[in-house]
Structure 1
Amino acid sequence: MNYKLRSLVAASLTGALMLGVAQQASADSTTDIVNALVAKGVLTEEEGALLTKGREMESVSQAKAMKKASKLKVSDAIDNAELYGDIRVRVEQRNGEDVAGKEQDRTRDRYKLTLGVKTESGNFYTDLALAMGQHGRSDNATFGSASGGSNGSNTKEAAYIKRAMVGYKATDWLALEAGRVANPLYTTQMVWDSDLTFEGLVEKANFKVGDNKFFLTGVQSQYLGDTRKYGGTATTADSISNWIMAFQAGAEVPLADGVKGKAALTYTTYSNNDRAGKFVPAIGSATTLGTNVVGTNNLRTIEIPAELNFSTSGPLSYSLFGDYVKNLDGNDRRDAAVAGISGAANKAKLDSNDDSAWLLGVGINYKAGPKVAKGDWSAKLWYQDVGVYAVDPNAVDSDFMDSKVNMKGVVLKTQYNLQENVFINFAAGHATNKNDKISTAGVAGDLGYNLKSYDLYQLDLTYRF
């Protein structure tokens, strides 16, 4: 083939390559044509390789351009950024009766806003989120409320830092995180309210062996800031930091066709036994919660959350889940509470071994396709029983059971998707005091009572973006 004909063919193919930049199928066909012409001797191997290399460089440049055009622009150093958040509107009713027969019926309309951004840059990543509500276990604001207590003053709710985390992917299986971090533990709301975050360091290892997934998590979180222990006078102080330290090991494994199991073992300890004094609940007939219901002394727990998930050939799947907690220092926590009570008769009422908590539930999920879509729904029903000395009363769910321990009861939660990112939730729960000799101690919550019974109903509309 003479030089002019080769040049003509090369020019024609170059035009085809330029047109193929916009269509991958055309590009693949062009590569096939080049290979065929080389095989027939129309083009030399060097000419064919030159044309193919040019097309590959065009494809790489196009992919980079599309990536830059599609990402949220923050700075040239950021590889990817994702804006996320949700707006939720809630109608809620709480009913409670204390041990003296006093009742409270609170019906509230509430709303919540969360706005965050996640970024990636090389091996580093971040999560920054703002949310309403200055208390860690609730991001809600109530219709009509104002900071000065004067309804109608048009006071706007403030936004607070929900998360401020910097992470580092040390390897493909190990990540390190620091700052205000979302709870990384596999757990339940019986132990940790879902709104809570940790402040400190987190180490996360995730790896696979065959079809088995394993995870290891370490948490070192400073708890409610520094606390000071004074010896003698206020001018002689030893500054003692209070820490929560948690270590978790777990696995997710296939057990049979359509059946997967997941379980973990978590050890949690609190470093400062004197933070906020000793935990002392009230005697059961008292209407108060106790002398000191926020103490974290003598808390060293073993937690075992677990679940079984059953898939079917259709859109339905099922689950069986549970959680068990044992405070290894429960007897010491009880003895410290007894020491804080006067009178032998009252001390005897506190002499109870309520150092464990457990939860057991079932779930059903309907999902028509691989992605969440309109018409999908789910429901969970569980029973939980929480001893007064079993867990940290500052960390339990603020909804069920109103931020309190020494409670037992049932919870139902359902969800229906109006569309992919808009869904309705309905939740209901009923509880009673577990040990009527001891108060339902804990943070005052929305009903500041030593409760005898408690009911909660919630209806939510959530728009996620």
Structure 2
Amino acid sequence: MNSKLRHIVLATMAGSLFSGMSSYAVADSTVDLVQALISKGVLTEEEGALLTKGRTNEVEADKKASKNKVKVASFIDNATVYGDMRARYERRSGEDTADVDETRTRGRYKLVLGVKTEANDWYSDIALSMGVRGRSDNATFGSGNNGENTKETVYVKRAMLGWSATDWLKLEAGRMANPLYTTAMVWDADLTLEGLVEKVDFKTGNINWFGNFVQSQYRGDRQDFSDNTADRATNNILAFQGGAKFDITDTVSAKAALTFTKYTNRHTSGASTFTPGLGTASGGGAVVGANAFATNDLRTIEIPAELGFKLANNMKLNVFGDYVTNLDGDDRFDAAVANAGANAAALRAAGNDDKAWMLGVGLGMQQGKAPQKGDWSARIWYQDVGVYALDQNAVDSDFMDSRVNMKGIVFKAEYLFRDNVFINFAAGHAKRKNSDLAAIGSNYDVNLNLDKYDLYQMDVTYKF
């Protein structure tokens, strides 16, 4: 072979080898090419060995490593495993009007494990978590008998299938994360919705418009019998939300939405009627209502909003709030009085309260778009929830102990110890808003007809 040509070949191949082409496919092809050039007499055995030195071992190493990689179907463009683990210490304490008190101190932990996939314009979200009821993914340390070391059951938290119909419209079905822009005063963050969701997101000028439309079966599986003796109705939640996010100036931004939510059942008698108890009951296990689960006569308007101010040194100040009025509050109140029996007069005298509101401020420092070590944030807010204003089954399970007819203040702070390790502290104090009525809720943690309530939490979360 011409010496000059050989030097060109050698130089070209050496450059290719040292330019970062180290994947399994490229390494394998390089070895094959060198062998072909040797067989044609373009390269000598010694020159070929020089070029492929170490490459054969790399090919074998890559083959071995590939056996340990998670494989997905060829039609899946992207699959992302995600989740978090959290350990928490908390103290809840409550007191009723007769000064009977209860303090509950416990260690808790939670696990959420999920996978998101994308395949062209289709996508999915599947997540598993602990926690029997929807408003909590927590398990309590030592919840079994002595020495039992109870194993926790893992449940399906989300099973959602989505389709990006256009660049501004997404359609989702199944069990999915709550798509609404809202607050914990109205919807606990752990809750999911089951049914259909349509999401709209587009931009005109400097305004980002968004819309979320929900058709969720709160209680499904409707049953109809010809003799009408055992019929079971469904209870759907229909939510229609429109909102916008925009920059007012280079350092001030705003976000707001208007949400109309309707519960389709309107039963107004017997066990289907929400009926709060009176504020006079006391002692452990005090009755807080004849029916704490019913969702009759709920048709609400919600207005969540926030203002963001960019400050120096990556600091940001947030002012946020939420306001809700139940358009069917009078009907909910009248139905409760009609179903209260001997307590009807006292319930009517206590009056109707079908409004809820919150207002807060937050301050934080974030160094980049993604969370990273050293970032921190703190928020404080006050909220006031009328007994007939909201769905008592959906409000936050921590503040105020899964109940309505409560008002109080909450403080929460977070610090990133590592990029994926979050240390959190939260504290809250609340009291009963209308002392003539019970602080009513479903699946609460402090077993009293609460008059006062305090909560402290410290936890560490590891995200992956």
TM-score w.r.t. structure 2 length?
A: 0.84
Cα contact 2:124–2:161 (8 A) shared by 1: yes
Report how far residue 230 of structure 1 moved: 8.4
SS in 2 for 1:368: coil
Report how far residue 173 of structure 1 moved: 1.2
The equivalent of 2:409 in structure 1 is 410
Cα contact 1:226–1:242 (8 A) shared by 2: no
Listed one character per residue, the Cα deviations across residues 77-104 of structure 1 (whole Å, up to 9, x for unaligned) are 2111000001100000000012332100
Summarize the Cα distance change of 1:70–1:171 in structure 2 as closer, same or farther, 3 Å threshold: farther
- Cα root mean square deviation, aligned: 2.6
The equivalent of 1:268 in structure 2 is 261
Summarize the Cα distance change of 1:70–1:385 in structure 2 as closer, same or farther, 3 Å threshold: farther
Is 2:416 aligned against 1:423?
Answer: no
2-side partners of 1:456 and 1:354: how far apart?
25
Cα contact 1:92–1:107 (8 A) shared by 2: yes
SS in 2 for 1:260: strand
The equivalent of 2:29 in structure 1 is none
The equivalent of 1:38 in structure 2 is none
The equivalent of 2:337 in structure 1 is 338
The equivalent of 2:280 in structure 1 is 285
Report how far residue 134 of structure 1 moved: 1.1
The equivalent of 1:202 in structure 2 is 197
1-side partners of 2:189 and 2:436: how far apart?
30
1-side partners of 2:19 and 2:78: how far apart?
24
Q: Which amino acid aligns with 1:440?
A: A
Is 2:233 aligned against 1:240?
Answer: yes
The equivalent of 2:249 in structure 1 is 256
Summarize the Cα distance change of 1:283–1:94 in structure 2 as closer, same or farther, 3 Å threshold: same
Listed one character per residue, the Cα deviations across residues 254-288 of structure 1 (whole Å, up to 9, x for unaligned) are 11121000000000001112395000001121242
283-292 or 403-412, larger mean C-alpha shift: 283-292
Listed one character per residue, the Cα deviations across residues 276-316 of structure 1 (whole Å, up to 9, x for unaligned) are 50000011212421100111000000000000000123221
The equivalent of 1:117 in structure 2 is 115
* Corresponding residue to 2:168 among 170, 173, 177: 173
2-side partners of 1:443 and 1:175: how far apart?
34
The equivalent of 1:189 in structure 2 is 184
Q: Which amino acid aligns with 1:133?
A: G
Is 2:131 aligned against 1:128?
Answer: no
Report how far residue 164 of structure 1 moved: 0.4
Cα contact 1:283–1:349 (8 A) shared by 2: no
The equivalent of 1:360 in structure 2 is 359
Q: Which amino acid aligns with 1:186?
A: Y
Cα contact 1:247–1:266 (8 A) shared by 2: yes
Report how far residue 237 of structure 1 moved: 3.5
Q: Which amino acid aligns with 2:314?
A: P
Listed one character per residue, the Cα deviations across residues 32-83 of structure 1 (whole Å, up to 9, x for unaligned) are xxxxxxxxxxxxxxxxxxxxxxxxxxxxxxxxxxxx9999522112111000
Listed one character per residue, the Cα deviations across residues 104-128 of structure 1 (whole Å, up to 9, x for unaligned) are 0000000000000101111111100
Summarize the Cα distance change of 1:348–1:194 in structure 2 as closer, same or farther, 3 Å threshold: same
User: Unaligned 5+ residue runs, structure 1?
Assistant: 24-67
2-side partners of 1:267 and 1:389: how far apart?
16
2-side partners of 1:224 and 1:455: how far apart?
32
The equivalent of 2:349 in structure 1 is 349
1-side partners of 2:211 and 2:67: how far apart?
37
* Corresponding residue to 1:211 among 194, 206, 213: 206
Report how far residue 209 of structure 1 moved: 1.2
2-side partners of 1:445 and 1:413: how far apart?
21
Listed one character per residue, the Cα deviations across residues 344-375 of structure 1 (whole Å, up to 9, x for unaligned) are 6424334x121000000000011234432222
Cα contact 2:265–2:297 (8 A) shared by 1: no
SS in 1 for 2:220: strand
Summarize the Cα distance change of 1:321–1:155 in structure 2 as closer, same or farther, 3 Å threshold: same
Cα contact 1:73–1:81 (8 A) shared by 2: no
Report how far residue 10 of structure 1 moved: 9.5
Q: How does 1:312-323 map to 2 (within 5 A)?
A: 312-323=311-322
Q: Which amino acid aligns with 1:309?
A: G
The equivalent of 1:26 in structure 2 is none
2-side partners of 1:108 and 1:229: how far apart?
45
The equivalent of 1:226 in structure 2 is 221
Report how far residue 19 of structure 1 moved: 4.8
Report how far residue 15 of structure 1 moved: 4.6
Identity of aligned residues (%): 56
Cα contact 1:364–1:380 (8 A) shared by 2: yes
User: Unaligned 5+ residue runs, structure 2?
Assistant: 22-65
The equivalent of 2:60 in structure 1 is none
Summarize the Cα distance change of 1:340–1:75 in structure 2 as closer, same or farther, 3 Å threshold: same
Q: How many aligned residue pairs are there?
A: 413
SS in 2 for 1:372: coil
The equivalent of 1:42 in structure 2 is none
Summarize the Cα distance change of 1:361–1:112 in structure 2 as closer, same or farther, 3 Å threshold: same
Summarize the Cα distance change of 1:220–1:370 in structure 2 as closer, same or farther, 3 Å threshold: closer
Cα contact 2:76–2:117 (8 A) shared by 1: yes
The equivalent of 1:302 in structure 2 is 301
Summarize the Cα distance change of 1:97–1:226 in structure 2 as closer, same or farther, 3 Å threshold: farther
The equivalent of 1:374 in structure 2 is 373
Report how far residue 447 of structure 1 moved: 1.0
Report how far residue 172 of structure 1 moved: 1.2
1-side partners of 2:138 and 2:212: how far apart?
29
TM-score w.r.t. structure 1 length?
A: 0.83
2-side partners of 1:369 and 1:196: how far apart?
29
271-280 or 455-464, larger mean C-alpha shift: 271-280
2-side partners of 1:225 and 1:94: how far apart?
34
Listed one character per residue, the Cα deviations across residues 111-164 of structure 1 (whole Å, up to 9, x for unaligned) are 000000101111111100000011000010000012xxx232122000000000
Cα contact 1:117–1:127 (8 A) shared by 2: yes
Summarize the Cα distance change of 1:272–1:9 in structure 2 as closer, same or farther, 3 Å threshold: farther
Cα contact 2:219–2:234 (8 A) shared by 1: no
